[in-house]
Structure 1
Amino acid sequence: MMTYFELSPSAHIIFGVCSLLLMVVAVLILVNVCVLRLRKRYILLSAVLLLEVMFMLQGVVDVSLKTVQGQPFYFFSDIIGNMPIYALVLWFVLSAVGEAVLLAYIRHTKKNILTAGAIKESLDALPDGVCFYRSDGQPMLVNTQMNKISGELFGTEIMNAKSFLNNLQTNNSDGKAQIISTEPTLVIQSDEKVWDFRSNTLNVGTSEVRELVAYDVTEQYLLNKELELRNQRLSSVNERLRKYNGDVERIITEKEILNAKMKVHDDIGRSLLAFRSYLAKPESQRDIESVLLLWRYTISVMKKEAVHEVKSNDWDLLLKAAEAVDVTVELNGELPDKGNKRDVLIASLHECLTNTVKHAKGNRLYMNISSDASSLTAEITNNGNQPDGEIKETGGLKNLRSTVESAGGVMTIETKPRFRLILRFEGAE
């Protein structure tokens, strides 16, 4: 059976290169096992694998020297040179398989443990700045973002964290930063970025570690600014709404008083006419009960024991209410002269007027009316903002729908491409 010594020099070179590769991989495995601090059995296995590969490499080199240069045999070359080819190949294969298994285990272990390098890479990937330092200010771990902030403000990376924090608090940045607030946290604006600096003390064993974190709160800061502007506008709108509600209450009160006066005037007039007619009749044809019934009803109205609804110029009242909140009402078409449809349309305009000012922030209200002998359709829109989503019918809109349906109409609300309130009535009044 052919031994390794009997192979050609070219075959010896191939085996030598393979042995060298196995040697390099074995060294790499032992270094990784030690760096990852794996269990002792893996360290021992890696060391044994390295030694046997070294033995193999030494034997292959000795045989090559003997073959090429005629050097005398050594202990390693004597064993390797007289080894059958299949045994040597099997040794190579087993060594390669052992190294492959250990490399796969090392790769799997790296994915499931945190190393110092992995921690640093993770911190560098954060959009926020992080700095850990000792009580004297010496940095222990500073990520890329925190060093970038320090470079933008002070022209250098963090050399002493306490000095860096003190410079932030005193705004010693040559005008590159602006302090927005110092309590409860330090908030600084720099290059269109807003940073919220927070410090903390961590107990690690028997020592203390200081932590300084810079949070990027640019988006929240801009949102707060926008919210403040919206609140100011909302306060102005609320003031106008309060004025509008006061005007509506006053107008309603005046309307009720006027209705009551007109009712009393009409009822007393009718009662006086009935009494005059009673006196003009012969005594045998007089009906005292009907006259007394009419006077009792008139007295009950004056005592507010009976109520009568008198329609006044509701369109003028609506225009006056709209004028009070700086809204222009434009009518395209003709309102019914009287009846439930007119009352519902006026009530719809009142509700849309409130929503135009409160929600849509518009200043124009449009009503288009089209009608024929059998139907009437009214469409109400405004020039305000489009609703953000589906409109929930609560409060005024819910009551309005009940009023429309009670009057025999159909109410539809559309939000795209803009708000539209559509009222449809079928049949004659």
Structure 2
Amino acid sequence: MWRNLFQNRRAAIKEGGDNLPMGLCFAAQSGNVLFLNRMMESLSYRLIGESLQNATYFWDRIADGNLQNGIVCEKRPELTKENQYLIRFANGECRTFTRSILKLDGEEIVEITSADTTDLYGLLCEQERKNKSLFQIRKRLQEYQKQIVKAARDEELLQAKMRFHDELGRTLMQTRRALLDDKGEDAVLEALDSWKKTITIFDLGEWRTKTKDPLTYLIQTANAVGVKLVFLGDFPKEQEIRELAVKIAAEALTNAVRHADARKLRIESKKENGWQILSFQNDGNKPKGPIEPVGGLAGLIRQIEAAGGVVTIEWTPRFSLTVKLICTF
């Protein structure tokens, strides 16, 4: 009676295991199979071409990739963990095999399972295709951004040359009147001051062609025209951001000398939430009203915005120029 009851329960367990959609195998540490359902037996024939008689041998064949033709074994970090393998069949079906150690009454039992992960693998492949496409789009956008920045740089350089030409013409006319019209020493000194400002504009454009660090040249130019640069925070070190930051500082220095008759320019630099933030304030004359960007400043703003940056100009209570640049630029 008890034997019949035990056999009936064992048969019920076997029937329940056979009806599972997943492959299931239990074995001793030696590899001897204790339980094997119908799905795992079928998978064994598909994978290694023979019945699953020893779990250790079966798992070693999977781990070594020693499988039937057309079947591929992979370790995919996105889908598999330790003691897991992804098996791809020639018909596109994917299954994940997992080996675990269970403890039962002080003994260690080896459990091998197989789950259908075809849909999950398909989603992963689709995501990889989308990521690849997005990467290509990103590369094109970056190239397009570089072209925009280059065009803005060329335009800014042209504007600087035109501005210098205009300043040079005005200064020459002012000097001529001061010398020929005999307007006195004050007129000559005023003309001399105009020459200093004109030379400043020229020098601030020259740093692009220098081999030395542009920031060093900017500091030397500021000293030459009597403006002290006060730095707060660490000035950007990344090459592209540093170059653009110096161009902004050069424009701020030009305007400080040209329009505000300033003697000090404060440059504050900090990083915040993925942004490189630069602020410029001078101690010169206060603006009489809102500032409309023109000339070199307008071209520089277009270049900054093309690179994803943001520019804010305030005129009260004092002139202030704030620029936000993306740190990865």
Task: Give the TM-score normalised by the residue count of structure 1.
Answer: 0.38
Q: Look at both structures and tell me which one has the larger radius of gyration over its CA atoms.
A: 1
Higher strand proportion (structure 1 or 2): 2
Bigger relative CO (Cα 8 Å, ≥ 6 apart):
2
Task: Give the TM-score normalised by the residue count of structure 2.
Answer: 0.47
